[in-house]
């Protein structure tokens, strides 16, 4: 998954905060992002594009 896909997946999972499966998937994906500095940096670049 690239940064945009990860962002979209986390956003989609946030739509179901009361569903245990969605919460677990979001946490697992967040752990992956936090363990991959390049992915984290890429996600930041997508959130804060350079003008």
pLDDT tens sequence for the chain (51 residues): 778 888 889 899 999 889 999 999 999 998 988 888 887 777 776 665 555
Radius of gyration of the chain (CA): 12
Number of domains in the chain: 1
Closest CA to 39 of 12, 47, 22, 15: 47
Number of residues assigned to the chain: 51
Q: How far apart are CA 14 and CA 26, in angstroms?
A: 8
Could you tell me the pTM of the whole model?
0.69
Q: Which domain holds residue 30?
A: 3-47
| Cα–Cα distance list, 26 to 29, 32, 34, 49 (Å) | 5, 10, 12, 24
């Amino acid at each position: 998954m690239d940064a945009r896909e990860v962002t979209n997946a986390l956003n989609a999972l946030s739509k179901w905060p009361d569903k245990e499966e969605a919460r677990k998937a979001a946490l697992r994906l967040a752990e992956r992002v936090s363990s991959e500095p390049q992915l984290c940096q890429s996600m930041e670049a997508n959130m804060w594009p350079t003008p």
